A and B are shown apart, each in its own frame.
Chain A
Amino acid sequence: EVQLVESGGGLVQPGGSLKLSCAASGFTFSGSAIHWVRQASGKGLEWVGRIRDKPNNYATAYAASVRGRFTISRDDSKNTAYLQMNSLNTDDTAVYFCSRWVTDTPTPLDYWGQGTLVTVSS
């Protein structure tokens, strides 16, 4: 069974940092890109960024709203992806989801984690 489990969310002060994890199981993690998508309370979905697989040089891409502050990485030996978030502000308060896109398939974001809540507040 494909599973993605996010962790690491919590309360952080403005200007602070937080690192989220996305633990995967039930599929070949090394053959998938991992995307992060966030959702503020009562709002829509906002794509945050993605990291591709090794054959695609672990290429990363980010939304303009987080570029330069957020960094996505992965450890294929642990089947885990990470979202390092720095210089957080109140606009970053949201539930953060990770999702997969299996390389060379036409079905993006076909499985999602349950999400982890990040609250940026003083």
Chain B
Amino acid sequence: DIVMTQTPLSLSVTPGQPASISCKSSQSLLDSYGRTYLYWYLQKPGQSPQLLIYEVSNRFSGVPDRFSGSGSGTDFTLKISRVEAEDVGVYYCMQSMQLPPITFGQGTRLEIK
């Protein structure tokens, strides 16, 4: 199974400041067609997860442009340019390069200072 490792596991950010989360996979998520199967989700308190980013850097419909994804191969990053109060929750990276199983990172909890 592909292991997804996120760092940090928690971060506390002042509103308006940037935030960054790293996700590393144990195997490359790049396929032979040039697609990379790395996604980011946010689970707000008491809610179901919601898709933020697909295939490394594409924002899902309705996701604010302060969210951006980057990376390649096995190293990926989610950045929030200016954190807002509504961004609080747990962020997960996920891979579907090797299915089964789909695997998630451990999650990174974002709180507001």
Contact = CB atoms under 8 A, between A and B. Distances in A.
Interface of A: 35, 37, 44-47, 49-50, 61-64, 97, 106-110, 112-115
Contact of A109 (B41, B101, B106, B107): B41
A112 B49 contact: yes
B60 A45 contact: no
A28 to B, nearest CB: 17
Q: In the complex, which range does the number of interface residues on chain B fall in?
A: 20 to 34
Contacts of B43: 45
B51 A44 contact: no
Contact of A64 (B55, B90, B101, B107): B101
Contacts, number: 62
Contact of A110 (B1, B60, B96): B60
Given A45-B92, A114-B48, A115-B48, A108 B39 contact: yes
Contact of B102 (A35, A44, A115): A35
A45 B1 CA distance: 15
Contact of A107 (B48, B49, B51, B100): B51
Interface in B80-113: 90, 92, 94, 96, 99-107
